[in-house]
Amino acid sequence: MNANPTPGEVKLGTTLYSFTAAFHAREATFEQLVAMVAQLGVGPGLELVGFQSIRGFPAISDEFADRFRELMARHRLEPSCLSANADTGIRRGQMMNAQEAADYLEPQIRAAAKLGFPVVKTQFAAPAESMRLLLPLIEKLQIKVGPEIHAPLGVDSAPVMAYRELYAQVNSPFLGFVPDFGTCAKTLPASYLEILRRRGVEEQALDLAVSIWKGSESPQWKRDEFNRRAAQLNVDPSKASALSVMFSMLSPHKPQAWLEIMPQIIHLHGKFYDFDAHGDESSIPYGEILPLFVQGGYRGYMSSEWEGHLFAWEAGYEQVRQHHRLCGRILAAL
């Protein structure tokens, strides 16, 4: 990449996925959650998970599209990214091929365009070749599309490299990647470890998992090594299984690796879990990560993505607001 890129501008927003607990508990409707983003001041960017937020997705009625645009205008929000699914394993015993994956993603991309989303986040479950097949549609709609690089993957992992190779061949500005900050964690969420303690997981098992997690070996090696050594310590298999989630939930890749693909980054997922006494994310080094994207020339939205609802039953409202305060403080200093 250019050694001296023009400084970028990271704009803040939120994905409604952060409020999954409240939505699933029917404590808030879709429209109420959209209003909450504005009320909390955690916009203006709004990201949706299509299959989660929109009944009947990917079919989008004209009525819903009109209502959605009215919601955006009323609350002064902007569509930032629509998260699509690449459900390539929905048929028992047979994975989708590239053409089938492209056919599955096509109506989701069309739905995003109809709602005014400039970016569609996909998943590496879809073969890289599916992007080549979708490229005529993507370029016609003028919409950016690309998979999320989520833990345990890194920029040089095999699925990512397959996409990078295809991107080099087709050379389209509409194909890219969506980094998830959980790939650059420095440790594991304190809240998750504390919940496991309350569930009776022994401290030696926690220490073992954290120690192995911090290593440079592959995620599969880490998981296998942990299970082998946990069995030697007679750790309850169900508790060992709960700990094994760590090896795919977060990973300790170096943030500087994002510079390799900076020109192809189309959206950001600001993954976070909890905060320390200073208001900093306790497991992900935001003070190191965010400046990289500004200095690297990225211009676009970052969605605040609280994933604590996976193990803590909270609405997520205050957590997202605190995350915006943290990111706003870092960006203001730049």
The dihedral region occupied by 156, where left means phi > 0, alpha psi between -120 and 50, and beta the remainder, is alpha
Q: Where are the beta strands (DSSP E) in 90-244?
A: 119-122, 144-149, 178-179
Q: Is 75 marked active-site? A: no
CA angle 180, 118, 172 (to 5 degrees): 80
H-only helix segments in 236-297: 237-244, 246-249, 286-296
Phi (first) and psi of residue 329, to 5 degrees: -65, -45
Question: Alpha-carbon distance 192 to 197, whole Å?
Answer: 9
Q: CA of 52: how far to CAs of 19, 20, 47, 130, 243, in Å?
A: 11, 9, 11, 23, 27
Cβ atoms of residues 77 and 43 within 8 Å:
yes
Catalytic, out of 75, 150, 267, 309: 150
- Contacts with 28 (C-beta within 8 Å, 6 or more apart), sequence order: 19, 22, 36, 315
What residues are annotated to the active site?
A: 150
